Chains A and B, each alone.
Chain A
Amino acid sequence: MKMSRRERRLQSRTERLDKLRKEVHKAYVAKERHTPKEIQYKGLLKLMRDHYKPLMIIPLAMLVFSLVVILMTYSETGSLMYKGVSLQGGISLTIPMKEQVDVPALESFLRTRLPQSDLDIRILSEAGKQKGLLIDASNVKEDIFLGALRERMTLGDFSIETLGPSLGDAFFTQALWALAIAFALMSLVVFLYFRTLVPSAAVIIAAVCDMLFALAGVNLLGLRLSTAGLAAFLMLIGYSVDTDILLTARVMKSKEGSVFDRVVSALKTGFLMNIVALATTIVTLIFTQSPVIMQIMWVLLFGLIADIINTWIQNAGILRYYLEKKGVQ
């Protein structure tokens, strides 16, 4: 079929128009590529992007709060923490017991019978169901302690741990040494890995703040720390640096996007890590009946909560400030 002249003219005009449109689009795309499009952030992320400096008050306030609590504990006990039997010597008795026990009554009875002794009674439970009783006592002889307890209850099967005060003191000093050495080694590894002062220091500062907050938390609960509890602070280092290293690696090693885009990219991965660790800690805390694991989990719980703030606000803030000063956008 033949086309009329008018039709032909129309066709060539649309062809030309199409061509033009394509060219304009090409130019637009090219322009787009040269000037990065800003990613739109909403809500919390927008707040974090625009006001990261004022937000640093939150981790700072947490640090001050932790220090105040720890100092209060220090003025009360002369030590940075409430020491359990394994750090000061004494007796720790675990009794499997399913029937309800009137803990305050038992405590006041033992206090009048053993006035010299420092007592701590706790219920061990699995998902809220009572499974046993844990009694810590210091400054008392085993037979006197058991004798007093036998006046109140029949003791069938039980576990008892006794520790001399000298070894308790030795455990405490050494646990502190172990913490200090572990910290030094950890810092060394971080410095060797990133080889830049400020970003490495930020990772380490975050770990310190996590640990201080965890210590303040267990102090507020009045938990008496054992050697296992102190070891939990080392575990905390492990969890804490995981997210910090992820953040530092993404921000420092990547060259693309704005600094904040890289922070958000790390946040998407790291926050899931935080959530998983927190959820497992809470589940374990609810279901464990072992006083050892319970204590470890309390330390981790406070530490992990602090870690969310200390990684994504404090560490990210320090990194951004550092890169801003260096002129990186």
Chain B
Amino acid sequence: MGKLRKMFTNLRILILVIFLILGLFAVYPNPWNEGLAIRNVEKNSSASLAGIENPAPTSTPMSRERILAVNNNPVTDVNSFYSMLSVVPSNATVTLKTNKNIYRLVARPVINGTVQDFGLSVYPAPQTNIRKGLDLQGGTRVILQPEGEVTKEDLDLVMDNIKERLNVYGLSDIVVRAITDLAGKSYILVEIAGANQQEVRDLLSKQGKFEAKVGNTTVFKGGGDVTYVCRSADCSGLDPQAGCQQQEGGWYCSFRFSISLTPKAAQHQADATRLLTVVSSPSGNYLSEKLNLFLDDEEVDALNIGAELKGSPMTEIQISGSGSGVSHQEAIQNTLDSMKRLQTILITGSLPVKLNIVKMDSISPVLGEEFLKNAILVCLLSVLTVSIILFIRYRRFSVSIPIIITMLSEVFLTLALAALIGWNIDLASIAGIIVAIGTGVDDQIVIADETLYKKKLEGEEEGSWKDKLKSAFFIIFAAYFTLTAAMIPLLFAGAGLLKGFAITTILAVTIGVLITRPAYAAFIEILTKE
């Protein structure tokens, strides 16, 4: 009884207990958290019109809105959720119950050959506030390098534009960050959580310089000159006239959508067409020059200009394009995807600099989950191995059990701190935690040996606990400072990809030397002192 009371009145142990409780609040574990968490809500989609909001990228995982039921049928599985929604007929109403509200979504008219899309993407509800890194949850990571020298203002502008592009495209669970490496080069890191998004490649690598020319005269550009890009079903989608055709080796489809121009841009166009001649053809009378559309200096479309438009300002223009695929279905999907990309670029305008993709990773969510399960298994086995060896060495529960408690506390407090500061735990971070625990065990062995097992050398006086701890912590702090010093350069090297490893290691060993290892010393002092 006396020992227990001593333990709970010891300052070092109390500090550990307080931190563990605070950690519990930061991690906020709930293994029974049910439903599907909302990741992205596409703009102007049925879901967004019904009032479902995009989660803020900085929101904690546990605070995210969760869908509990579709038309009163509980949902637990991502695939069954999507398949439930994909068969909803045009204009039908679907009731979505979330933990915050009940929404009524009106289904859109389904374009022939595609499935119903409510513009919602979801993932299984998280059970803690620990954020999983991209390699553990799946997703796409892109590193972009601006061409030539860029100012900080330009870089900020580019990042804002990229964020907006992705948001307009319907992706909101994203991280866009500028990184500078040891050589002073700037990069932009884009991480998109969740699904495998190879398609974002074009979205990110295109500068998005959109130009319409008549002959050699530029009549309007994307961004400022375009006031409205139609994305609703009545004025955008597969071209009803051209449709899809089967050609050698695959299918080709066409899309079209309309855009509105500023009066000034329309006037430019009128000026450019005034002097053109009218050419007659079987399908009608057109002007001698076409309206050529360029995206990043590549021609994407050439439109005939009707003879009646000669010299007159035109504020509405229909833009068309095409896509292909091996099957009919695939062709439709690719066509609609490239339409969506073009629309996005037209809305968000062009970037001030050209970007090159220098690294592109796409990680499968299935593999990510495998790795996570395996990482947990490995961590548990390591703790078990350490425990067995220590028990064989010390043969006393009062020495070896506190070591295990300390190890587990260190892991937990590191994860909690990461959750608190919004740091993602990825594979490199797990490696960092393993190192930290390893050095932690080293430190505890030093404490145990200095205080209990160090054989008195001839003539040496039995020192006080304070002296023994002092010599133990002399060694512990030396090891701490060298490890931290070794990790610091990693914060900056290699475009910050090893930052996770370095930060987690430093966090974990700092927690170790300041909180858990002093508590361990107090533990064994109380447990073993007669």
Contact = CB atoms under 8 A, between A and B. Distances in A.
Interface of A: 33, 36-37, 39, 94, 96, 126, 131-132, 157-164, 166-167, 170-171, 173-175, 177-179, 181-183, 185-186, 188-190, 193, 227-228, 231-232, 234-235, 237-239, 241-243, 245-246, 249, 253-254, 256-257, 261-262, 265, 268-269, 272-273, 275-277, 279-280, 283-284, 287-290, 292-293, 296
Nearest to A247: B475
* Most chain A CB neighbours (cut-off 10 Å) among B143, B475, B494: B494
Nearest to A234: B486
B182 interface: yes
B185 interface: yes
B427 interface: yes
Contacts, number: 245
B148 to A, nearest CB: 14
Contacts of A280: 382, 385-386, 434, 438
Given A171-B495, A188-B485, A287-B374, A245 B185 contact: no
Given A245-B482, A256-B458, A290-B371, A177 B441 contact: no
B472 to A, nearest CB: 10
Given A170-B185, A234-B486, A242-B442, A160 B361 contact: yes
26 contacts: A36-B459, A131-B374, A167-B145, A173-B183, A177-B489, A189-B482, A193-B478, A193-B481, A227-B494, A231-B428, A231-B498, A238-B482, A241-B482, A242-B479, A253-B474, A254-B457, A256-B460, A261-B457, A265-B454, A272-B393, A273-B442, A273-B445, A276-B386, A277-B438, A284-B382, A289-B370
Contact of B181 (A39, A162, A174, A290): A174
A161 B332 CA distance: 28
Listed from nearest, the 10 A-B pairs whose CB atoms lie closest are A257-B457, A185-B485, A178-B493, A238-B483, A178-B489, A161-B361, A256-B460, A181-B489, A269-B449, A167-B358
B78 interface: no
Given A241-B483, A276-B442, 10 more contacts: A36-B458, A181-B488, A190-B482, A243-B442, A249-B471, A254-B457, A256-B458, A257-B458, A265-B457, A279-B386
A161 B359 contact: yes
B176 to A, nearest CB: 18
B466 interface: no
B183 to A, nearest CB: 7
A171 B494 contact: yes
Interface in B339-394: 356-364, 366-368, 370-371, 374-375, 377-378, 381-382, 385-386, 389-390, 393
Contacts of A227: 494, 497-498
B439 interface: yes
- Would you call the interface of chain A mostly helix, strand, loop, or mixed? helix
B381 A189 contact: no
B381 A186 contact: no
Nearest to B381: A283
A170 B389 contact: no
Nearest to A286: B381
A185 B489 CA distance: 9
Contacts of B495: 167, 170-171
Contacts of B458: 36-37, 39, 256-257, 261
A286 B455 CA distance: 36
Contact of A189 (B374, B453, B481): B481
Contact of A239 (B181, B359, B438, B459): B438
A182 B359 contact: no
Nearest to A185: B485
A256 B385 CA distance: 35
A131 B359 contact: no
A284 B434 contact: yes
B478 A174 contact: no
B428 A292 contact: yes
- Interface centre among B182, B439, B485, by most A CB within 10 Å? B485
B502 to A, nearest CB: 8
A167 B385 CA distance: 39
B328 to A, nearest CB: 21
A122 to B, nearest CB: 15
Contacts of B183: 170, 173-174
Contacts of B487: 182, 234
Contacts of B486: 182-183, 185-186, 234, 237-238
B186 to A, nearest CB: 12
B378 A268 contact: no
B354 to A, nearest CB: 15
B159 interface: no
A293 B430 CA distance: 9
B220 interface: no
Nearest to B371: A290
B389 A276 contact: yes
A132 B494 contact: no
B514 to A, nearest CB: 17
B303 interface: no
Contacts of B439: 238-239, 242
B244 interface: no
A159 B361 contact: yes
A185 B488 contact: yes
